[in-house]
Amino acid sequence: MPKLLETREDVELMVNQFYQKIRQDAELGYIFEEVAHIDWDLHLPKMYDFWEGILLGTANYMGRPMPPHFRLTTKYTLTPEHFDRWLHLFFENVDALFEGDIAAEAKYRAYSIATIMNQRVQQVNAQISEEN
């Protein structure tokens, strides 16, 4: 039964469940595990801080999310379909766990992030294509 998304613990649950789905996903799991070689012990706390900041107004996240994705797409071309799949899994995860305004905000923010990141990554892809 979905509940309100209200605390850091809720954010951690959302992030943990989401990335578990990602890791098991036939389309995205390979990218995270075999191409990016994500160190989950480092990555997950960054994602907790990122989403807690966006949704609960804390200022714990100090990273820059775009550069790692730009580097990744030079190794393995990230496509709009990858971002669509990421977003689908994110929405599915939030809907299974949470309801209410902050859950809706999480999905809105994820949509915005995926849209902007996809646009920027596709620009990098086009630049790589022109150079080759």
Domains and CATH numbers, the chain: 3-131 (1.10.490.10)
Question: Contact at 8 Å (CB) between 84 and 97?
Answer: no
d(CA 123, CA 6): 36
Which residues does residue 4 pair with via DSSP β-bridges, in sequence order?
99
pTM for the whole structure: 0.94
Q: Is 112 exposed, middle or buried (0-12, 13-18, 19+ CB in 10 A)?
A: exposed
Give the pLDDT of the chain (132 residues) as one tens digit per residue. 899 999 999 999 999 999 999 999 999 999 999 999 999 999 999 999 999 999 999 988 988 989 999 999 999 999 999 999 999 999 999 999 999 999 999 999 999 999 999 999 999 999 998 887
Neighbours of 115 (CB within 10 A): 13
d(CA 6, CA 95): 15
